[in-house]
Structure 1
Amino acid sequence: MTSKPGLPLVGVHHTARPTWKLAETVHFYRDLLGLPLVHAISARGWGPEDHADFLHFFFDSGTGSTIAFFYYIGTEAPEFVAVRDDYRYRATHTAWRVETREDLLACRARIEAAGIKLNYQIRHEVIESIYFNDPNGYSLEITWQVRPFTEVDIADANRTLEAGIALENASRAGQGSFTSIDEVWRSKGERLAADMEVQ
Structure 2
Amino acid sequence: MLIQKIHHVAYRCINAKQTVEWYLKHLGMDFVLAIAEDEVPSTKAPDPYMHVFIDAGMGNVLAFFELPNSPAMDRDHNTPAWTQHIAFEVGSMDELLATKQRLQDAGIEVIGVTDHAIFKSIYFFDPNGHRLELAFNTGTPAMMNQLNSVKWDMLNEWDRTKKAPKHAAWMHDGKGFVEA
Same fold (TM over 0.5): yes
CA distance in 2, matches of 1:83, 1:114: 28
Letter in 1 for 2:159: I
Q: 2:61 aligns with which of 43, 66, 74?
A: 66
Cα root mean square deviation, aligned = 2.5
Partner of 1:57: 52
Partner of 2:134: 142
Q: Structure 1-normalised TM-score? A: 0.71
Structure 1, unaligned runs of 5 or more: 1-5, 168-177, 187-199
Partner of 2:176: none
Name the CA shift for 1:143/1:73 in 2 (closer, same or farther; >3 Å). Answer: same
What secondary structure does 2:57 align onto? coil
What secondary structure does 1:53 align onto? strand
1:60-114, CA deviations, whole angstroms, 9 ceiling, x for partnerless residues? Answer: 1111112110111333225xx3375x76233111000012211211221222233
Q: Does structure 1 residue 128 correspond to structure 2 residue 120? A: yes
Letter in 2 for 1:106: A
Larger Rg: 1
- Report if aligned partners of 1:52, 1:72 keep a CA contact under 8 Å in 2: yes
Q: 1:31 aligns with which of 21, 25, 28?
A: 25
Please give the residue correspondences for 1:93-172 in structure 2 after superposition, counting only pairs within 5 Å: 93-148=85-140, 150-167=144-161
Query: Would you say how many aligned residue pairs link Structure 1 and Structure 2?
Result: 164
Q: Does structure 1 residue 82 correspond to structure 2 residue 90? A: no
Letter in 2 for 1:65: N
Q: Structure 2-normalised TM-score? A: 0.78
Structure 2, unaligned runs of 5 or more: 168-180
Letter in 1 for 2:26: L
Higher helix fraction: Structure 1 or Structure 2? Answer: 1
Partner of 1:174: none
Name the CA shift for 1:35/1:74 in 2 (closer, same or farther; >3 Å). Answer: same
Task: Please identify runs of 4+ aligned residues in structure 1 that moved more than 6 A.
Answer: none
CA distance in 2, matches of 1:51, 1:90: 34
What secondary structure does 1:147 align onto? coil
